[in-house]
Amino acid sequence: MNKTAPNPIGTYFMIKNLLITSFFIFLFMPAHKIYAQNADQTDINVGKAPIVVELYTSQGCSSCPPADKILGQLAQHPRIFALSCHVTYWDYLGWKDTLAHPFCTDRQTGYRKVKNARNYYTPQMIINGNDEFPGHRSGKIKAAIERANNNPIKPISLSHKNKQTIVAGLPTLGARSNYTLWVFGYKKHHNENVQQGENRNRKLQSTNSIHMLESLGKWDGRQGMKRFDIGKTDDIDGLVVVAQINGYGPIAAAGRIEF
C-alpha cells in the first residue's frame, strides 16, 4: 500500500498498486533480469545519457522498504543517478526518520504543485522530473527509463578542489532561459535499526540518501562554467547537479561527482 501524505482533509491511503505475489516475483528475480550490476547485462537499455531517479520515502512508511531496495539496484548502474529523499510528514507515526529533511518534503510539494496532483505519497519515484509513480512498480520503472532514453538529457561535467569548491561545466540547452540549477549532496549507504512505528524492529537500508539540497540559482541554458562551494563534506559521498525547467519541471541536464 502506498501512503499518501496528511493534508487538511485528512490522511489518504492509496489502493494497492501491485499484487504482493507479483511484487515478490520481481523482487527476487536474478539481478541481471531487473537492474543488473553489470551495465552490459541488463534488459533495460539505459543508453549513454544520464537518468535522474528520485525516490521520496520514509523510515516510518511500511510500504517504502521494497522501493528503497529497488532504488539500491538502480544505483548500481553507472548512468543512473539514484537519489533517496526522506520526507518528514510520517514522523508523527512513532518513529522520527533519522534521514528526513524538510527540504525533501518541500521538493516533493513543489512537484505536486507543478503536476497539479491532488496529494503526495510515499514511496513516490520521479524520473528526470517527468514520470512519477509508486516506487515499487517494476513495469512503470522500465517504461519511464525507456522514455527517458528516447529523450536524453545533456551531461554536466563536475570537478572539485578539496571536496569543497565545485566547478560545473554546463552544456548548451537552447533558447530557454528558465532553468534552475539544483545541487544534491548524498551519502551512499546508511543502515538504521528502527525501534518504533510501522517498521518497528526492522533494519532498513538506504542508498544515496540526500543530506544537502540547495538551489544554485537560475541559468539561461548557455554553455559556460559555474563555481560553487558546498562547505563541509563529512556526511556527503557525492554530488548530483541538475538543470530543471521552471524549478520542478523536466530535468534537461545532469552531472555527478563522487569523493
- pLDDT digits over 33-59, tens only? 333 333 323 356 788 999 999 999 999
CA-wise closest residue to 115 among 224, 250, 217: 250
For residue 26, the enclosing domain spans 3-258
For 232-253, the pLDDT digits (tens) are 778 899 999 999 999 999 999 9
For 99-108, the pLDDT digits (tens) are 999 999 999 9
Provide the CATH number for the domain around residue 18: 3.40.30.10
What pLDDT band is residue 1 in, cutting at 50, 70 and 90?
A: low
CA 108 to each of CA 85, 120, 192, 222, 229: distance values in angstroms, whole numbers, following the listed order = 9, 7, 23, 28, 25
Q: What is the DSSP string of 228-242?
A: EE----TT-SEEEEE
Looking up cell 510539494, which residue turns up?
109
Looking up cell 528502527, which residue turns up?
194
Position with higher pLDDT, 120 vs 151: 151
Looking up cell 507543478, which residue turns up?
114
**Total domains present in the chain:** 1
